[in-house]
Amino acid sequence: MLNLNKLELTFNNYNLEKNVHLYRQGGLNIAYDVNSGSLHLLDDKTYSFLTELSELQKEDPALLKNSEKLLNTAGSNLRADEKKEIIQELAELQKANILFSCEAEEVNPDYPERPLIKAMCLHIAHDCNLRCRYCFAETGSFGGSRGLMDLETGKKAIDFLLQNSGDRPSCEVDFFGGEPLMNFSVIRELVIYGRQKAEELGKKIKYTLTTNAVLLNDTVAEYLEQEGISVVLSLDGRPEINDKMRPFANGKGSYDRIIDNILKFIAKRPNTSRYAIGKYYYVRGTYTHYNPDFYKEVLHLADLGINRISLEPVVAPLEQSYALQPEDLAKINQSYDILAEKVLEYAHKGNEFTFFHFNAGLDDGPCLPKRLSGCGAGHEYVAISPEGDIYPCHQFVGQEKYKLGSLDDSPLVLPEDMVQAFRQANIYAKEDCRICWARFSCGGGCHAANVAYSGELTKVYPFGCEIQKKRLEIAYYLKIKEAQRIKKIC
Amino acid sequence: MAKHIQTIIKGNLSETVKTGGCGQFQTSCLSASKTSCTVGNQVCEK
């Protein structure tokens, strides 16, 4: 038996499964230390040893409190000197607090009494020139009547944002729809108005626009370029896939109409940030039950020279024919695995592209308070309907239960109970999140997806969690591959 | 040099409870996502 006191490795009341994620990806054995955000590569023997420790803790909860017995039980297949070496290395990393690091104290983010709004999704048009079958906006109308936001409502919305942004120097406005370019004249007026009002207060507004690119002609493209507006362009991938889900009202597919607009536009932004910082573009699509092999869509886009790509799982009730089903998960995971290797292969060939959900901030990522506050919907981020109604985010628009008020209310104060409900719906309020290794990376999942699935803000959407965890595993894997590549060059 | 374990990234996330929270971070869902919350895939601009 080893003298474990000398080795100084201890796991008393330390839940390994919760705090260290062990997995294999691309032939590598990876350990992600949840509380420090550190990444380690393990040899096969260490990987097996750690996996065994974690399994033993699960099988016999008494071992959670008996570190010495746990360490002596595991690793029976190792030679004594090997086991000692491994434990010594593990102990050094524990001492440095980068493996088996101390659990972060469960402290809720410190919010001001009144909510500080810093970002707004402006539903400039509840109308659309496409009839996308999966549209959560119900093809643009969000369950209401079709209509465009008028200039006065838009101005009130910007006033509301600036007046409620406290001392934040920078605010964000996203022109969203429906299809926002159907109301381009109002967008132009609001950009001028917002800039002027922000300047008067010593602030800045960062604008983004989400468009299906149907109306993205040369004039509009030049305008967006000149004004430094970031753009998210919707496109699902190969023509037959895109056209099946994204037709015009007459049923004709949209691919041929938009592809040249998109390619011409992105050519203006060759150095766009992979982390969506500054003036950027991303081409964003949706995958459904019809294409769990969606890696083909991503590669189609990459082969066209599009190098900032985001493809997301559809959000839809299970009874819809295009909704993702539990049996799709294996194929979805396989797609992500293939995509991981393709990202590396394309980079090696000099055709680098970024898949948005393979981005990961670890040592350079968000602080813990930000990770806990998640997307900020309902207290830092709101959406405004064309009529001036206020909702927690774009996905809640039209859901009366979640309406936060109207820009015409006087006084205009967001309801305290709703603000608190969204503030408190963080990972510590969600039973499944508190013990999950991905808890500091996903923000506890999307509120709207959680509500759609469970009816509650604090109960997660498990299928979404599985996809999120897979994307994170690959994001960390690619971090390691990148580090190895740099080391090789140096 | 360690024989069995290679550390790739050394983080100090739990320490940022004390140092973080400046509030200047961009809103996660406004960029290229729109249907999923992923705070961990951004970088700090501070």
C-alpha distance from residue A178 to each of A112, A152, B35 (Å): 33, 19, 15
Peptide bond before A228: cis, by omega within 30 degrees of 0?
no
Chain A residue with the nearest C-alpha to that of B13: A36
**Nearest-CB residue to B9 (from A107, A169, A479):** A479
Amino acid at residue number A11? F
Asked if residue A75 has pLDDT above 60, the reply is yes
Q: What is the pLDDT of residues A83-108, one digit of tens each?
A: 999 999 999 999 999 999 999 888 88
Residues of B in contact with A236 (CB under 8 A): none
pLDDT of residue A366: 82
In this structure, chain B runs to a length of 46
Q: How confident is the model at residue A317 (pLDDT cuts 50, 70, 90)?
A: confident
* A384: contact with B, CB 8 A cutoff: no
**Nearest-CB residue to B37 (from A43, A375, A472):** A375
Asked if residue B24 has pLDDT above 70, the reply is no
In this structure, chain A runs to a length of 490
Q: Please name the residue that has the structure tokens 């985001």.
A: A310
pLDDT of residue A346: 98
Residue A295 makes CB contacts below 8 A (sequence gap 6+) with A335, A336, A338, A339, A342
Asked if residue B15 has pLDDT above 90, the reply is no
* φ/ψ of residue A397, rounded to 5: -55, 130
Q: What is the pLDDT of residues A190-211, one digit of tens each?
A: 999 999 999 999 999 999 999 9
pLDDT of residue B2: 86
Nearest to A382 by CA among A357, A411, A360, A412: A412
pLDDT of residue A364: 77
Asked if residue A343 has pLDDT above 60, the reply is yes
Residue A55 makes CB contacts below 8 A (sequence gap 6+) with none
Average pLDDT value for residue range B36-43:
68
Residues of A in contact with B45 (CB under 8 A): 277
Are B6 and A136 a contacting pair at CB < 8 A?
no
* B1: contact with A, CB 8 A cutoff: no
* Dihedral sign computed on CA atoms, order A51, A68, A65, A59: positive
* φ/ψ of residue B12, rounded to 5: -140, 45
Asked if residue A139 has pLDDT above 80, the reply is no
Cα–Cα dist A172/A162, whole Å: 10
pLDDT of residue A84: 94
Query: Which among B42, B45, B46 is the top mutation candidate for probing chain A, defined by the most A β-carbons within 10 Å of its own β-carbon?
Result: B42
Residues of B in contact with A86 (CB under 8 A): 4-5
Beta bridge partners of B43: none
Residues of A in contact with B13 (CB under 8 A): 35-37, 104, 365, 367-368, 371, 440
Average pLDDT value for residue range A39-51:
97
**Nearest-CB residue to A356 (from B24, B25, B32):** B32
Are A36 and B31 a contacting pair at CB < 8 A?
no
Cα–Cα dist A74/A288, whole Å: 43
Nearest to A41 by CA among B8, B3, B1, B10: B8
Asked if residue B35 has pLDDT above 70, the reply is no
Half-sphere exposure (Cβ direction) of A455: Cα atoms closer than 13 Å: 0
Query: What percentage of chain A exceeds 90 in pLDDT?
Result: 82
Average pLDDT value for residue range A22-30:
98
Q: Please name the residue that has the structure tokens 């390691």.
A: A480
Q: Please name the residue that has the structure tokens 């090997």.
A: A82
Asked if residue B1 has pLDDT above 80, the reply is no
pLDDT of residue A162: 97
Q: How confident is the model at residue A3 (pLDDT cuts 50, 70, 90)?
A: low
Asked if residue B30 has pLDDT above 80, the reply is no
Average pLDDT value for residue range A400-411:
96
pLDDT of residue B16: 83
pLDDT of residue A7: 63
Peptide bond before A411: cis, by omega within 30 degrees of 0?
yes
Q: How confident is the model at residue A253 (pLDDT cuts 50, 70, 90)?
A: very high
Q: Where are the alpha helices (DSSP H) in A96-216?
A: 151-163, 184-200
Chain B residue with the nearest C-alpha to that of A37: B11
pLDDT of residue B36: 66
Cα–Cα dist A288/A285, whole Å: 10
B residues 4-43 near A, CB within 8 Å?
Answer: 4-14, 16-17, 19-43
Residues of A in contact with B18 (CB under 8 A): none
pLDDT of residue A365: 79
Asked if residue A238 has pLDDT above 60, the reply is yes
Question: Which range scores top for mean pLDDT: A131-140, A191-200, B9-18?
Answer: A191-200
Average pLDDT value for residue range A209-228:
97
Q: Where are the alpha helices (DSSP H) in A38-79?
A: 44-59, 67-73
Q: How confident is the model at residue A4 (pLDDT cuts 50, 70, 90)?
A: low
Residues of A in contact with B25 (CB under 8 A): 366, 370
Measured in angstroms, the CA of A151 and the nearest CA of chain B are apart by: 22
Residue A215 makes CB contacts below 8 A (sequence gap 6+) with A129, A179, A181, A182, A184
Nearest to A452 by CA among A318, A293, A303, A338: A318
Q: How confident is the model at residue A79 (pLDDT cuts 50, 70, 90)?
A: very high
For residues A183-194, one letter each, b for 16 or more C-beta atoms within 10 angstroms of the residue's C-beta and e for the rest, the string is: bbebbeebbebb
Q: How confident is the model at residue A370 (pLDDT cuts 50, 70, 90)?
A: confident
Residue A260: enclosing H or E segment and its boundaries? Answer: helix A255-266
Q: Mean of the per-residue pLDDT values for chain A?
A: 93
End-to-end CA distance of chain B: 33
Asked if residue A5 has pLDDT above 60, the reply is no
Q: State how far Cα A189 lies from the chain centre.
A: 31
Query: Which among A105, A172, A370 is the top mutation candidate for probing chain B, defined by the most B β-carbons within 10 Å of its own β-carbon?
Result: A370
Strand stretches in B1-46, DSSP E: 5-9
Q: How confident is the model at residue B45 (pLDDT cuts 50, 70, 90)?
A: low
pLDDT of residue A141: 67
Beta bridge partners of A125: A148, A177
Asked if residue A384 has pLDDT above 80, the reply is yes
Residues of B in contact with A42 (CB under 8 A): 4-5
| Total-model pTM | 0.94
pLDDT of residue A478: 97
**Nearest-CB residue to A172 (from B5, B8, B30):** B30
pLDDT of residue A91: 96
Average pLDDT value for residue range A180-191:
98
- A485 and A41 Cβ atoms separated by less than 8 Å: no
Three-class DSSP category at A281: strand
Asked if residue A1 has pLDDT above 60, the reply is no
* φ/ψ of residue A363, rounded to 5: -65, -20
